[in-house]
Structure 1
Amino acid sequence: MTILPLSVTVCLVSETGLVGPADDGGAPAEPGEAPPGEPGGSAGLPPALASAREAFVAHLRHERGASGHTVRAYSADIAALLEHARRMGRTSVPELDLPVLRSWLARQRASGCARSTLARRAAAARTFTAWAARAGLAEADAGALLASPKARRPLPTVLRRDEAAAVLDSAAALAADGEPLPLRNAALLEVLYASGIRVAELCGLDTDDVDESRRLLRVVGKGDKERRVPVGLPAVRAVRAWLQEGRPALRTPFSGPALFLGARGGRLDVRTARRVVHERLAATPGAPDLAPHGLRHTAATHLLEGGADLRSVQELLGHASLGTTQVYTHVSVERLKATYERAHPRA
């Protein structure tokens, strides 16, 4: 059995902060691994388990390229699993057998955890045990036979076509005066709806990621996977107006190549982008209150309703599995049923 030295794993997980001023919300750099004594840390764990957890977090961040959100969630889940194992008298990774994993999930369920939370924690446990087996920390993958409840997948709330048009038209009207922030907001709303990209992907765009002539965006998604995403003419025009009239007014020496900037010239923060979406939807009569992910749901649903095939929508959204994309077919089926019930004389 090989256990990575604690000193090696610790040095792998440190990260530098953002260069330049924070964006609108003054957001700090993405936090790294929780230090010992904080939620998700290794304080109190036996040395072998603490070392394994820290090496696993480094693996997620540096080898798998997982998002900061995923790293934080899995880090906390595995810390909780290993603490449960410690209470059961297990002090090393090979002692994490299937009964320990099942006991941990059973305890979570008894405490009232939602099915979706249980499913995520089971996935974290399986990812950890599979990694441990590959890394030589355990002889076998104890989580390979670990079952978890299927998380219920409620149908996402989406905008109707007229609601989406109203949101974008109102943003364009505010941008007509040529002020930088309204121009930026109109462009980011158009891009979110036109492309269906994630809000973190939007904030990560650089100016050279926009190909106006071909109407394509170069997007770097989860796991640092790159894809090309088409956008329509309204989005291209809104981005062009922002680049020509809005961005130069906010640009500072710290702006770098970021496409969307905050009020102080730094790269646009995800929280600011979310606030923009919420504010514009709140100002649109009848529109539901959605986060940026709601615009992603809306774009996918409208594409399918317009005749796009599921495989193309999967590629557009950057989903690794077609099954993830299929949730949008349920939305369309629900609308089909509603139309049938309104229109058929014997519905």
Structure 2
Amino acid sequence: MVALVEKWPVLGRHEQAAVWLGVWADLGRTPRTLDAYARGLAEYLLMCEREQVDPVTANRSHVAMFVRELTSRPHHRGPNVVSLDSGAGLANATIQQRLVPVRLFYDYLMEEGARESNPVGRGRYTPGRRGGGGQGRGLVPRMAKLPWIPTEQQWLDILAVAALEPIRNRVMLALAYDAALRREELCSLRTDDLDPAHRTVRVRAETTKTRRGRVVPYSAPTGVLLSAYLGHRVTLSRARGPLFLSESRRNRAEPLTLWTWSKVVRRIALAAGVPRFSTHTTRHLCLTDLARMGWELHTIASFAGHRHTDSTLTYIHLSGRDLAAKLNRSMEHIHAWRVATLTASSTAAPELGR
């Protein structure tokens, strides 16, 4: 908590903000979540200070000013940004992320009796609308974009570059795809999470986004790579603990960090000429492939560790499985009709020639 205030001094200048953030810390939110909350609220408070507005009494117009600032802000990566989906400097998902702590902060002020309404608000259920009511539009429209996955050729290009990587990087990439692991789940694996006899890996609840533990399988080729890596790992450390270790001179045998793995994947992506490839792409690709192979929705959800099947439906849509099945069924009928018509036409042709 002290570190966050040091990183964002504006939080220390607003007592309610510091108390609110402390509540979330006491509730056991992860450091990454706390950092995201602190950043979003700090940026809002800085805007309030520039506009000489008391955030406790701010209204919807002031929140709208913050949204305008987010939607027009230049991206910090400048020309090196991989993709944008907001039409401006920040992606739609990032803007939504910045607004979450602001909304939660005002929820807290309402609970404490400091104000009566939340200027950020949420989409509201509006009775009487066409279709029997519905969800009102939120402060910022939410874009439901499908995840990006590489083409077959792009995946082959990634694999060609990855084949030249050290054994640790190759097995990490293979496990990330095989078990559809998120970056934190992959980097947090421990030696006792593995069950080579059954070719499964345990994903502990505390390392997951949804706090749902699961056991997932991996393929035989990945098992071979993993066995080779375990033999190599002994040269770094014989102690049980984190599975993937750093091999740099500065941090030798220390647990591999999320940021190091991100840099490895980024380097592979650029070398392969596929800059959109990231640490999360392997998860998207695996779940989409499972949908293409006909896995049931709830089975994919269990494999992925999703709390709700709404998230899993994304991969069903991305695979095009349901649409393809409907198209095939329709085309079978149309095809039969067209063939029958052509057959009838061919038998009638001699009569027409007479």
**TM-score, with normalisation over the residues of structure 1?**
0.69
Moved more, 198-207 or 213-222: 213-222
Residue equivalent to 1:250: 236
SS in 2 for 1:145: coil
Tell me how far apart the structure 2 counterparts of residues 281 and 83 of structure 1 sit (CA, whole Å). Answer: 36
Q: Hey, what does 2:130 align to over in structure 1?
A: none
**Residue 212, structure 1, aligned to residue 176, structure 2:** no
8 A contact 2:183–2:280 mirrored in 1: yes
Contact 2:191 2:240 in 1 (8 A): no
Higher alpha-carbon deviation: 274-283 or 201-210: 274-283
Residues 276-314 of structure 1 show CA distances to partners (whole Å, capped at 9, x for unaligned) of 334555666x86751111111111111111112333333
- Which residue of the partner structure matches residue 313 of structure 1? 300
Report the equivalent of 1:19.
Answer: none
Amino acid paired to 2:140: P
Counterpart code for 2:145: P
TM-score by length of 2: 0.68
Pair 183,340 (structure 1): closer, same or farther in 2 beyond 3 Å: same
- Shift of the 102–315 alpha-carbon distance from structure 1 to 2, 3 Å rule, reads farther
Displacement, 1:261? 0.5
> Corresponding residue for 2:245?
261
C-alpha contact 1:90 1:96 (8 A) present in aligned 2: yes
> 1:66–1:223: 8 Å Cα contact kept in structure 2?
no
Counterpart for residue 3 of structure 1: none
CA distance in 1 between partners of 2:274 and 2:145 (Å): 19
Quick one: which of 285, 299, 309 aligns to 1:322?
309
Indicate which of 178, 200, 218 corresponds to 1:232.
218
Tell me the equivalent position of 2:47: 84
Shift of 1:34: 5.2
CA distance in 1, matches of 2:276, 2:89: 26
Cross-structure match for 2:339: none
Partner of 1:51: 15
Equivalent of residue 34 in structure 2, options 63, 66, 71: 71
Q: For 1:333, which of 320, 323, 327 is the aligned residue? A: 320
> Within 2, Cα distance between the matches of 1:105 and 1:287?
32
Q: CA deviation at 1:99?
A: 4.3
Q: Do the aligned residues in 2 keep the contact of 1:159 with 1:288 (CA within 8 Å)?
A: no
> What residue is the counterpart of 1:126 in the other structure?
103
Q: Deviations over 1:182-223 (max 9, x none)?
A: 221222112100111111221111111223344132233356
Question: 1:224 Cα shift?
Answer: 7.5
For the Cα contact (< 8 Å) 2:102–2:120, is it kept in 1?
no
Instruction: Find the partner of 1:191 among 175, 185, 202.
Output: 175
On the 8 A contact 1:65/1:224 being kept in 2, the answer is no
C-alpha spacing 1:92/1:295, structure 2 compared with 1 (3 Å): closer
Q: CA deviation at 1:340?
A: 6.7
Structure 1 regions of 5+ residues with no counterpart? 1-12, 15-31, 175-180
Partner of 1:145: 121
| 8 Å CA contact 1:130, 1:144 repeated in 2 | no
Distance, in Å, in 1 between the alignment partners of 2:224 and 2:25 is 36
My pick for the range that moved more, 154-163 or 299-308, is: 154-163
CA distance in 2, matches of 1:256, 1:216: 16
**Structure 1 residues 213 and 116 mapped into 2: Cα distance closer, same or farther (>3 Å)?**
same
- Please tell me whether the aligned partners of residues 214 and 305 of structure 2 are also in contact (alpha carbons under 8 angstroms): no
Q: Give the Cα separation in 2 of the matches to 1:289 and 1:89.
A: 41
Cα contact 2:180–2:304 (8 A) shared by 1: yes
TM-superposition CA deviations, 1:59-108 (whole Å, max 9, x none): 4445252352x433331221122233345554463x24444433432454
SS of the residue 1:229 aligns to: strand
SS at match of 1:216: strand
Q: Residue 33 of structure 1 aligns to a residue in which SS?
A: helix
Alignment of 1:157-196 (within 5 A): 157-160=148-151, 182-196=166-180
- Aligned pair partner of 2:66 in 68, 79, 104: 104
Q: Counterparts of 2:68 and 2:264 in 1: how far apart (Å)?
A: 41
Deviation at 1:319, TM superposition (A): 3.4
> Is 1:168–1:186's contact at 8 Å kept on the other side of the alignment?
no
User: Once the two structures are superposed, what CA deviation does each residue of 1:98-133 show, in whole Å capped at 9, x if it has no partner?
Assistant: 444334324544665543343222222222222344
Counterpart CA distance in 1 for 2:311 and 2:210 is 19
- 3-state SS in 1 of match to 2:145: coil
Aligned-partner SS, 2:286: helix
C-alpha distance in structure 2 between counterparts of 1:103 and 1:282, whole Å = 37
Please, which runs of 5 or more residues in structure 2 have no aligned partner? 74-87, 123-137, 336-354
Amino acid at match of 2:99: A
Note closer, same or farther for the CA distance 1:116–1:216 as it changes in structure 2 (3 Å cut): closer
Contact 1:129–1:143 (8 Å) recurs in 2: yes
